[in-house]
A and B are shown apart, each in its own frame.
Chain A
């Protein structure tokens, strides 16, 4: 494929020049010309008022689509406990499997206290399970090698994993080996009714834009999915299915986990699983200022998050950071205190059910995405709120 200007239609208006993120369009003798800087991003295709910019297909664009059927999700565990994102993947996977009229399988490496059956209860028809010691701790190579082996053997058409430190680290190796496409950090997945391809939507450019990505010619279509964005599947203790034991014979690892260190702060920091989050930004003014947030979080039995500004100031550790370069969260209630609402922060929390924003500045962009907006000083509002909630709970 390449992009071309039909010079006979070009009026020389130069509208397209500004649309190119790579400065690849120049004006030459009163007509636009596409230079070798073109990255084929298609950003210019819609902008020409004359329709003079077109995409030209080439023979080599067509590739043989591998076959395959079935939707797979990688169910991740840490310390013998299934990660919440596994159930969300089963929810998303079930929907895709139904749209395709196919089955849903889960892959589980390492033993979990609830047993692999839990994945059947959450919607899987089948679990490929390897409980060998080599896979108990996360190491990229054995995880990638065993998953690649299973995919090559059973040929699913879609493979999903969580966009967590684990999924984002080893899934790219699997896609590289299988020479197939991988879309990172998806926030929406749909089947195209016509082509049956998977339409994968993800944020890019720091959340300023969304992109729909396709993997039309190779299989499986692979994606990592942001935690707390998809709906969990339905839990049914009575659901039955197959558990297929998988052997890790011949799988080795050149890395080894020597030790696992947990870092927990005063208020639980497991933001992915929190139902209520109280978050602070630069407006909190200092580590002492966070005290008011801790009190509210305690009354609500919630966790504490922060914007990058507050983390960069050193008021609170990095693992509380929410946003593009921090965690993605999706609690029932997110209370943003003294946070302006920069897009890099918002991408990490916008799927929260209810967002309450407390900010002195009525123009702060956080109010654009808030369910409830309070213009005011957080040091005045928070103590009132904490007291009111304690009253309610009879504390």
Chain B
């Protein structure tokens, strides 16, 4: 079984703030991490390898320092890692990101591709399904459990708003995973040694034989026009007095606004 996991290096978003005066991101000292959902995707890949045999390859598209994220996945037990890095990839939206990853995955070959549910910087959840479409294979999003895998078929549980669906697919397939699926393992000492020594395969746009017009900003149908800070609500009332007084005032106001 050839398993490919897509991982993305992201800023630790809990700490990214916007400067309200200049409307720009303040990223001083914000660390880069592996997208948390992608750690669950890597874990799923490793568990599938334990169940069905084969090898796990992680792929990332990003700036040269994204290599660190890949080495981290090797410390967890991943067999190989591939870094797509090229100035031409800069400014990619989800379409162009998925297109470049698709070319790389087609180049490596895969029976099962696993992505995180979404990346915590953009939160779009689009790259996985788009890769599947380019590869012309089925996908199932929001996987919370892998029930069964054979050489040509997989059964999984897909999380929905009101419960879950049990879905069957042919292979090859692309899955996107949610946190409930598993608990990611920690790196082993042996893994850490391997991570230091591992050769990371680096691919450029030329290696993937893609047209410049399909890459990076040029290949991206969407554009960011501007960014700004979310507005704060201002019409707030702090209630005062004893607990009884506060509750009475609240209930009276809620009744008045026809809320009760």
Genuine A/B complex: yes
Which of chain B's residues have a CB closer than 8 A to the CB of A218? 221
Asked if A374 and B63 sit within 8 Å, CB to CB, the answer is no
- Kindly state whether residue A10 has any CB partner on chain B within 8 Å: no
Partner-contacting stretch, out of B46-54, B74-82, B185-193, B227-235: B227-235
Mostly, the A contact residues are mixed
Contact A381/B91 with A165-B142, A209-B16, A210-B229 known, Cβ cut-off 8 Å: no
- Kindly state whether residue A303 has any CB partner on chain B within 8 Å: no
Give chain B interface residues in 215-260, CB to chain A under 8 Å: 216-218, 220-230, 232-233, 235-239, 243-244, 246-248, 250-251, 253-255, 257, 259-260
Contact A213/B236 with A185-B124, A255-B138, A258-B155 known, Cβ cut-off 8 Å: no
- Kindly state whether residue A288 has any CB partner on chain B within 8 Å: no
Give chain A interface residues in 161-217, CB to chain B under 8 Å: 164-166, 168-170, 172-173, 175-177, 179-185, 199, 203-217
B53 to chain A, nearest CB (A): 23
Contact A254/B25 with A144-B133, A181-B95, A385-B250 known, Cβ cut-off 8 Å: no
Distance A84 CA – B33 CA, assembled complex (angstroms):
37
Distance A254 CA – B28 CA, assembled complex (angstroms):
47
Asked if A173 and B132 sit within 8 Å, CB to CB, the answer is yes
Which of chain B's residues have a CB closer than 8 A to the CB of A260? 160, 163-166
Asked if B138 and A209 sit within 8 Å, CB to CB, the answer is no
- Kindly state whether residue A26 has any CB partner on chain B within 8 Å: no
Give chain A interface residues in 353-395, CB to chain B under 8 Å: 353-356, 367-376, 380-381, 384-385, 388-389, 392
Partner-contacting stretch, out of A15-23, A93-101, A228-236: A15-23
Using an 8 Å CB-CB cutoff, how does the interface string of B107-124 with A read, 1 for contact, 0 for none? 000000000000011111
Nearest-CB residue, chain A, relative to B125 = A168
Which of chain B's residues have a CB closer than 8 A to the CB of A389? 251, 260
Asked if A371 and B123 sit within 8 Å, CB to CB, the answer is no
Nearest-CB residue, chain A, relative to B87 = A36
Distance A370 CA – B91 CA, assembled complex (angstroms):
37
Nearest-CB residue, chain A, relative to B222 = A181
Asked if B248 and A210 sit within 8 Å, CB to CB, the answer is no
- Kindly state whether residue A86 has any CB partner on chain B within 8 Å: no
Asked if A141 and B138 sit within 8 Å, CB to CB, the answer is yes
Asked if B235 and A371 sit within 8 Å, CB to CB, the answer is yes
Using an 8 Å CB-CB cutoff, how does the interface string of B25-67 with A read, 1 for contact, 0 for none? 1111000000000000000000000000000000000011000
- Kindly state whether residue B170 has any CB partner on chain A within 8 Å: yes
Which of chain B's residues have a CB closer than 8 A to the CB of A182? 94-95, 126, 222
Contact A213/B222 with A44-B24, A140-B140 known, Cβ cut-off 8 Å: yes
Which of chain A's residues have a CB closer than 8 A to the CB of B94? 172, 182, 184
Which of chain B's residues have a CB closer than 8 A to the CB of A27? none
- Kindly state whether residue B206 has any CB partner on chain A within 8 Å: no
A163 to chain B, nearest CB (A): 9
Asked if B13 and A206 sit within 8 Å, CB to CB, the answer is yes
Q: Which of A137, A166, A176 is the one whose CB lies under 8 Å from B134?
A: A176
Contact A258/B167 with A19-B24, A168-B125 known, Cβ cut-off 8 Å: yes
Q: Which of B220, B230, B247 is the one whose CB lies under 8 Å from A207?
A: B230
Which of chain B's residues have a CB closer than 8 A to the CB of A37? 63-64
Asked if A208 and B236 sit within 8 Å, CB to CB, the answer is no
Which of chain B's residues have a CB closer than 8 A to the CB of A185? 123-124
Distance A329 CA – B179 CA, assembled complex (angstroms):
21
Asked if B24 and A46 sit within 8 Å, CB to CB, the answer is yes
Distance A238 CA – B13 CA, assembled complex (angstroms):
49
Distance A78 CA – B165 CA, assembled complex (angstroms):
12
Q: Which of B123, B160, B237, B250 is the one whose CB lies under 8 Å from A165?
A: B160
Asked if A140 and B233 sit within 8 Å, CB to CB, the answer is no
- Kindly state whether residue B150 has any CB partner on chain A within 8 Å: no
Distance A40 CA – B238 CA, assembled complex (angstroms):
43
A221 to chain B, nearest CB (A): 9
Asked if B121 and A204 sit within 8 Å, CB to CB, the answer is yes
Asked if A18 and B28 sit within 8 Å, CB to CB, the answer is yes
Which of chain B's residues have a CB closer than 8 A to the CB of A21? 11, 16, 25, 27
- Kindly state whether residue B205 has any CB partner on chain A within 8 Å: no
Nearest-CB residue, chain A, relative to B22 = A47
Contact A140/B138 with A367-B238, A371-B236 known, Cβ cut-off 8 Å: yes
Distance A265 CA – B120 CA, assembled complex (angstroms):
29
Contact A209/B230 with A39-B90, A214-B223, A261-B163 known, Cβ cut-off 8 Å: yes
Q: Which of A216, A353, A370, A384 is the one whose CB lies under 8 Å from B223?
A: A216
Asked if A376 and B217 sit within 8 Å, CB to CB, the answer is no
Q: Which of A19, A332, A384 is the one whose CB lies under 8 Å from B243?
A: A384
Asked if A369 and B237 sit within 8 Å, CB to CB, the answer is no
Q: Which of B18, B64, B255 is the one whose CB lies under 8 Å from A209?
A: B18
Nearest-CB residue, chain A, relative to B28 = A18
A169-B125, A255-B170, A270-B161 provided; 15 other pairs, C-beta below 8 A? Answer: A21-B27, A46-B23, A175-B126, A176-B98, A205-B121, A212-B224, A214-B225, A254-B137, A254-B169, A256-B168, A356-B250, A372-B253, A373-B239, A384-B244, A385-B250
A contacts, CB < 8 Å to B: 1, 18-22, 36-44, 46-47, 60-61, 78, 137-141, 144, 164-166, 168-170, 172-173, 175-177, 179-185, 199, 203-218, 253-264, 269-270, 272, 300, 318-319, 324-325, 327, 332-333, 342, 344, 347, 350, 353-356, 367-376, 380-381, 384-385, 388-389, 392
- A-B contacts, 25 of them at CB < 8 A, read A22-B63, A37-B64, A38-B90, A42-B224, A42-B227, A137-B165, A140-B139, A164-B161, A168-B126, A172-B94, A172-B130, A177-B133, A179-B221, A184-B123, A206-B123, A210-B227, A212-B224, A212-B225, A215-B221, A255-B173, A261-B163, A261-B166, A319-B161, A384-B247, A389-B251
3 closest Cβ contacts across the A-B interface? A181-B221, A40-B91, A181-B222
